[in-house]
């Protein structure tokens, strides 16, 4: 039997909230990145769930693209974290606070 | 075969070429650029004479020329204005071309003596200025539309500025140059509005129609509008009565004329302009540029004739200026100052003639004045060379024996200026006054009264003219030498004497071209200038251009309601009485000057004038009052406007920027640089947004 769409949405909301919580509370850049991935994937779950609900494949195809873009984003993100580490000998995001006015 | 008219543009192009050559290669030439100018103006003179002969019909049948040569703005829509550069050659233009190029040539030659021999520096700049001036003036003369005339009018003003300020390292000349520029520009401001008004009203600025009725001229359209109504002529009078509107336009253009021809109240620049080199004074401020204003009125005379009010203003301004300037000339101590005021006065006569319907008289006086005033200025230049640039007449005296050529030619010019028979000025001034007299008596209403008033002022000025002219002659050349330099003056060379001789003979004889009194008395057909402006009897070329005398006389009678009547007997008696009156006054002035100043050691008599002396010495406080206008009125207004601009207009702009600067400086504090804070803000904002959607309903 098929699972009801609402459960998927609840799961997605939960994953998203975990991601937001991670971003707001953690200082480690790697954890930041992971949290962002969580939020992205929560959106993916939503896309797939609605696609399934409407019997339309567009959402699922879309989520494939999102994953590809997430991969690229992670690559860039890790690059930034590497540079951050090289400059501050740390991956604490609150240390790099000079890029402002 | 190429005729004279194909070369008319070259009359102006040659001096322009000389300008370029003098400016860039002048310092490599032995005479520092004078060669180019002399050759170019000689070429212009040759072409001008050829043109004049062609117009007169001596080289073939009499003809005229009016073509648009170059279109520089094309009007696309219906009713849009197309702007052209074109050439109009009719008797008036041809005559003026000859005068201007002749005087320009003589002044270039004279400059060899006045500038080169005196070891002046910066001569390429000087000759370049003269060349550009000559080119602009000649182009102005053959302009066939009002806009082109305006452009060259301005060029002429620019050259005047450059040449007055030639000795820019001294204090006086730059200031005089600025004054001349500003005062004439003030008049030209009205002229510019007038030009725009003419184009907006008629859609054309042509002085004379091209190809019959194909492209009508604006005086023609104006005439048509008065006869058949503005609508029939396709003329937009902006809600005014056609007559009123044409008067307004005419007076606006007259603003430029008053400025350039140094008429009251914009005459103040001309005496100051004497700071420039004397040949420049001769060429620009006496013989040609100042003539541009009067020439413009003569050029569009068909338009002014349609407005009796404008004619009355011209006559009154002219008559008043003639008298006003003549009285100031009486007390001046410097040679060139006397001549400057006499110039203003003589142009007053021309305006008087134009205002009172004496078209031929005005053109005649323009011609004779150009010759004798150029002569007097060049003579003054010769004296100034001899006196080592001391211009005070009280330091001269006794130069008669030392410089005979200058003396006799200067005397010829002075007799012409004073109006003593048979020198040039007598014939022309007499005709001016005669026309004013008969038109004053023949015209009913206020216009006739104005004419008679203007005539009276002009007549009175004759006496003063005779007086100051001969006061100048006696003080300069007669009596004993009153200073060391006057006892041993520096000799002048052929390049000074040559032009003086040519003009001296001219001043004595040029009046013979229109001896109207003799013509009327004897019935001999010797009023050549009259015939020249009149054209062949069968109509022919002048009628095609509607700039002929026949047409003007019709307009004068029908549109302006000016007619002639002879107060004393018939035409002959009136003519004799008028001539005797002006001659008598002139001789009276000369004799009075003789009695006061023809002594071995003359003394100043100006103190006898009492309070009037102070008034005259200060030029009727005209300068003071204009300075007051500038400093007492214009400056406070400008200051108030500046305050408004700085306070209100700029205040709003500055206020906006300081508000945003302030809020920006406060707002940027939320930028902590810590990523976590940004993320928190973003989350918070998103939540708030969602909450807002929930509250409002989101469906809006």
The encoded tokens of residue B278 equal 């004397």
Instruction: Give B159 to chain A, closest Cα distance, Å.
Output: 58
**pLDDT above 60 for B539:** no
DSSP of B381-414 = HHHHHHTTT--BGGG---HHHH-HHHHHHHHHHH
Q: Please tell me the distance from the alpha carbon of residue B451 to that of residue B448, in angstroms, as a whole number.
A: 5
Closest partner CB to B668 (pick from A20, A97, A101): A101
Q: What is the mean pLDDT of residues B315-323?
A: 91
**B80 touching A (Cβ < 8 Å):** no
**pLDDT above 80 for B260:** yes
From chain A, pick out residues whose CB is under 8 angstroms from the CB of B668: 100-101
Q: Please tell me the distance from the alpha carbon of residue B473 to that of residue B481, in angstroms, as a whole number.
A: 13
First to last CA, chain A: 57
Interface test with B, best of A20, A35, A43, A80 (most B CBs within 10 A): A20
- Asked if B137 contacts B146 with a C-beta cutoff of 8 angstroms, the reply is no
pLDDT-derived band at B549 (thresholds 50, 70, 90) equals confident
Among chain A residues, the shortest Cα distance to B678 is held by A24
Residue B213: predicted pLDDT: 62
Q: Please tell me the distance from the alpha carbon of residue B178 to that of residue B182, in angstroms, as a whole number.
A: 6
Q: pLDDT tens digit string along B374-433?
A: 899 888 888 888 888 787 888 887 788 888 888 889 899 999 888 887 888 888 888 888
A residues 22-81 lying closer than 8 A (beta carbon) to B: 23-24, 27, 32
Q: pLDDT tens digit string along B42-86?
A: 999 999 998 888 887 776 666 778 888 888 888 787 777 888 888
Q: Please tell me the distance from the alpha carbon of residue B52 to that of residue B70, in angstroms, as a whole number.
A: 23
**pLDDT above 90 for B653:** yes
Which residues share a beta bridge with B275? none
From chain A, pick out residues whose CB is under 8 angstroms from the CB of B665: none
Contact B676 A27 (CB under 8 A): yes
Peptide bond into B223 cis (omega under 30): no
b/e for B180-195, b at 16 or more Cβ within 10 A? bbebbbbbbebbbbbb
Q: What is the mean pLDDT of residues B647-659?
A: 93
From chain B, pick out residues whose CB is under 8 angstroms from the CB of A101: 668, 671
Mean pLDDT by 10 residues, chain A (101 residues): 85 94 90 92 93 90 93 93 90 82 68
Contact B672 A97 (CB under 8 A): yes
CB < 8 Å & 24+ apart, contacts of A68-75: A70/A37, A70/A40, A70/A41, A73/A36, A74/A33, A74/A37
List the one residue out of B472, B499, B25, B88 whose CA is nearest residue B283. Answer: B499
Please provide the average confidence, as pLDDT, over all residues in chain B: 85
List the one residue out of B454, B431, B291 whose CA is nearest residue B361. Answer: B431
Instruction: Give B681 to chain A, closest Cα distance, Å.
Output: 10
Contact A32 B675 (CB under 8 A): yes
- Mean pLDDT: which of B213-222, B246-255, B591-600 is highest? B246-255
- Asked if B311 contacts B447 with a C-beta cutoff of 8 angstroms, the reply is yes
Contact B676 A101 (CB under 8 A): no
Contact A94 B680 (CB under 8 A): no
Helix (H, G, I), strand (E, B) or coil at A60: helix
pLDDT-derived band at B557 (thresholds 50, 70, 90) equals confident
Residue B547: predicted pLDDT: 76
**B670 touching A (Cβ < 8 Å):** no
Contact A100 B683 (CB under 8 A): no
Residue B537: predicted pLDDT: 56
**ipTM greater than 0.90, yes or no?**
no
Instruction: Give B164 to chain A, closest Cα distance, Å.
Output: 60
b/e for B369-397, b at 16 or more Cβ within 10 A? bbbbbbbbbbbbbbbbbbbeebbebebbb
**A84 touching B (Cβ < 8 Å):** no
Q: pLDDT tens digit string along B74-91?
A: 878 777 788 888 888 888
Q: What is the mean pLDDT of residues B626-642?
A: 89
From chain A, pick out residues whose CB is under 8 angstroms from the CB of B671: 100-101
Q: pLDDT tens digit string along B300-310?
A: 888 898 888 89
First to last CA, chain B: 85
Q: Please tell me the distance from the alpha carbon of residue B217 to that of residue B211, in angstroms, as a whole number.
A: 11
pLDDT-derived band at B540 (thresholds 50, 70, 90) equals very low
Contact B674 A94 (CB under 8 A): yes
Beta carbons within 8 Å of B682's beta carbon, 6+ residues apart: none
- Asked if B108 contacts B17 with a C-beta cutoff of 8 angstroms, the reply is no
Residues in chain B: 700
* A90: DSSP letter: S
Q: pLDDT tens digit string along A48-61?
A: 999 988 988 999 99
Q: Please tell me the distance from the alpha carbon of residue B223 to that of residue B555, in angstroms, as a whole number.
A: 9
pTM score over 0.90 = no
Share of chain B above pLDDT 70, in %: 96
Helix (H, G, I), strand (E, B) or coil at A92: strand
Beta carbons within 8 Å of B440's beta carbon, 6+ residues apart: B356, B448, B449, B451, B452, B454, B455
Q: What is the mean pLDDT of residues B246-270?
A: 89
**pLDDT above 50 for B1:** no
Q: Please tell me the distance from the alpha carbon of residue B373 to that of residue B298, in angstroms, as a whole number.
A: 20
Contact A94 B683 (CB under 8 A): no
* B215: DSSP letter: B
- Asked if B252 contacts B191 with a C-beta cutoff of 8 angstroms, the reply is yes
From chain B, pick out residues whose CB is under 8 angstroms from the CB of A32: 675
Q: pLDDT tens digit string along B172-211?
A: 888 889 988 988 898 999 999 999 999 888 888 888 888 7
**B671 touching A (Cβ < 8 Å):** yes
**pLDDT above 90 for B559:** no
Q: Please tell me the distance from the alpha carbon of residue B414 to that of residue B465, in angstroms, as a whole number.
A: 10
Task: Output B639 or B27, whichever has higher pLDDT.
Answer: B639
| Phi, psi torsion values for B142, nearest 5 degrees | -95, 15
**pLDDT above 60 for B286:** yes
Share of chain B above pLDDT 90, in %: 18
- Dihedral of CA B674/B675/B679/B685: which sign? positive
**pLDDT above 50 for B257:** yes
């Amino acid at each position: 039997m098929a699972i009801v769409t609402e459960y998927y949405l609840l799961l997605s909301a939960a994953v998203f909230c975990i991601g937001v919580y991670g971003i707001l509370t953690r200082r480690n850049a790697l954890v930041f990145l992971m949290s962002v991935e969580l939020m992205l994937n929560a959106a993916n779950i939503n896309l797939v769930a609605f696609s399934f609900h409407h019997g339309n494949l567009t959402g699922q195809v879309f989520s494939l693209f999102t994953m590809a873009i997430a991969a690229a984003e992670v690559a860039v993100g890790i690059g930034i974290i590497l540079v951050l580490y090289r400059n501050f000998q740390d991956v604490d995001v609150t240390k790099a606070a000079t890029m402002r006015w | 075969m190429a005729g004279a008219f194909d070369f008319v543009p070259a009359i102006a192009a040659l001096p322009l070429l000389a300008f370029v050559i003098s400016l860039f290669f002048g310092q490599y030439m032995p005479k520092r650029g004078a060669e180019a100018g002399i050759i170019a103006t000689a070429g212009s003179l040759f072409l001008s004479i050829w043109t004049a002969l062609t117009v007169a019909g001596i080289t073939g049948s009499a003809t005229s020329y009016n073509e648009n040569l170059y279109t520089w703005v094309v009007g696309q829509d219906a009713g849009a204005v197309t702007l052209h550069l074109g050439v109009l050659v009719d008797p008036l233009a041809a005559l003026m071309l000859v005068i201007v190029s002749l005087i320009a040539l003589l002044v270039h030659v004279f400059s060899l003596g006045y500038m080169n021999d005196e070891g002046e520096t910066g001569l390429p700049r000087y000759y370049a200025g003269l060349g550009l001036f000559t080119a602009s003036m000649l182009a102005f003369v053959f302009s066939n539309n009002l806009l082109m005339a305006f452009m060259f009018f301005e060029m002429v003003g620019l050259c005047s500025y450059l040449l007055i300020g030639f000795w820019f390292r001294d204090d006086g000349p730059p200031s005089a140059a600025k004054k001349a520029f500003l005062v004439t520009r003030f008049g030209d401001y009205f002229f510019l509005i007038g030009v725009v008004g003419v184009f907006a009203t008629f859609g054309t600025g042509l002085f004379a129609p091209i190809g019959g009725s194909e492209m009508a001229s604006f005086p023609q359209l104006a005439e048509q509008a008065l006869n058949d109504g503005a609508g029939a002529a396709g003329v937009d009078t902006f809600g005014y009565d056609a007559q009123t509107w044409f008067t307004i336009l005419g007076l606006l253009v007259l603003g430029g004329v008053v400025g350039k021809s140094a008429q009251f109240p914009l005459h103040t620049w001309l005496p100051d302009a004497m700071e420039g080199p004397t040949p420049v004074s001769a060429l620009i401020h006496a013989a040609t540029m100042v003539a541009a204003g009067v020439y413009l009125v003569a050029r569009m005379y068909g338009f002014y004739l349609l407005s009796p009010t404008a004619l009355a203003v011209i006559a009154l301004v002219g008559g008043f200026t003639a008298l006003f300037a003549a009285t100031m000339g009486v007390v001046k101590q410097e040679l060139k100052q006397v001549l400057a005021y006499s110039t203003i006065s003589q142009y007053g006569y021309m305006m008087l003639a134009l205002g009172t319907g004496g078209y031929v008289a005005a053109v005649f006086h323009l011609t004779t004045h150009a010759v004798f005033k150029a002569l007097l200025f060049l003579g003054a230049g010769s004296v100034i060379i001899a006196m080592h640039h001391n211009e005070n007449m009280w330091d001269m005296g006794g130069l008669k024996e030392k410089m005979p050529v200058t003396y006799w030619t200067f005397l010829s010019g002075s007799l012409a200026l004073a109006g003593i028979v048979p020198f040039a000025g007598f014939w022309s001034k007499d005709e001016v006054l005669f026309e004013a007299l008969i038109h004053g008596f023949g015209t009913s209403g206020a216009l006739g009264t104005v004419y008679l008033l203007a005539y009276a002022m002009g007549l009175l000025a004759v006496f003063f003219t005779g007086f100051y002219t001969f006061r100048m002659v006696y003080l300069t050349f007669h009596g004993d030498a009153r200073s060391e330099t006057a006892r041993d003056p520096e000799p002048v060379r052929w390049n000074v004497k040559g032009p003086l001789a040519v003009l001296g003979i001219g001043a004595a004889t040029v009046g013979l071209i229109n001896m109207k009194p003799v013509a009327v008395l004897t019935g001999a057909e010797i009023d050549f200038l009259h015939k020249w402006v009149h054209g062949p009897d069968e109509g022919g070329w002048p009628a095609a251009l509607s700039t002929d005398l026949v047409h003007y006389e019709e307009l004068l009678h029908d549109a302006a309601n000016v007619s002639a009547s002879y107060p004393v007997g018939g035409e002959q008696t009136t003519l004799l009485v008028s001539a005797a009156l002006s001659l008598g006054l002139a001789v009276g002035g000369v004799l009075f000057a003789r009695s006061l100043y023809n002594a071995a050691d003359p003394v100043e008599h100006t103190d006898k004038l009492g309070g009037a002396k102070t008034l005259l010495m200060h030029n009727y406080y005209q300068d003071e009052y204009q300075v007051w206008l500038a400093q007492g009125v214009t400056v406070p207004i400008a200051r108030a406007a500046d305050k408004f601009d700085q306070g209100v207009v700029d205040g709003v702009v500055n206020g906006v920027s300081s508000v945003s600067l302030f809020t920006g400086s406060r707002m940027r504090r939320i930028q902590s640089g810590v990523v976590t804070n940004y993320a928190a803000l973003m989350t918070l904002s998103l939540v708030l947004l969602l909450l807002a959607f929930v509250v409002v309903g989101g469906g809006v």
